[in-house]
Amino acid sequence: MARFIPAILIVLLLSGWVDPRGRVWVERASPERPYDFVVHVSNIAKIKYNPLVLEDRHRMALDLVRRECPGGRIVGDNVIPTEIWGLTSSLPDYVVLVACRNSESPSSRAQAKRFSK
């Protein structure tokens, strides 16, 4: 039994480790921003996707928000360096800002509410 305790502790420590590389997620922007969605695209290359190519990042971002924003357009692109110089080397995070073209976008609804008061 005493031999299993260190093994259990190691498993518990390693299970808490999360590797966010390649993670993709979409956040809704605040109403006062000129864009509606902040899309964090993958930083790992795959077949038909290279994060170093701007058009590939934009295509992935538009594909991710297509259901909520069918007429989306790119209004910004940001590269966030994540490495600590001299200590770690890691791929940067890529963020794409998407605005909806239709008048029923989340930010335009919030602005309409604010101005109608």
Per domain, the residue ranges of the chain are 21-116
Q: Give the residue from 112, 92, 115 showing the smallest Cα distance to 103.
A: 112
* pLDDT for residue 116: 45
Q: Give the residue from 83, 97, 92 showing the smallest Cα distance to 36.
A: 97
* pLDDT for residue 115: 42
* pLDDT for residue 86: 76
Angle in degrees, CA 39, 97, 59, rounded to 5: 65
Q: What are the per-10-residue average pLDDT scores of the chain (117 residues)?
A: 70 56 85 94 92 95 94 94 80 93 56 48
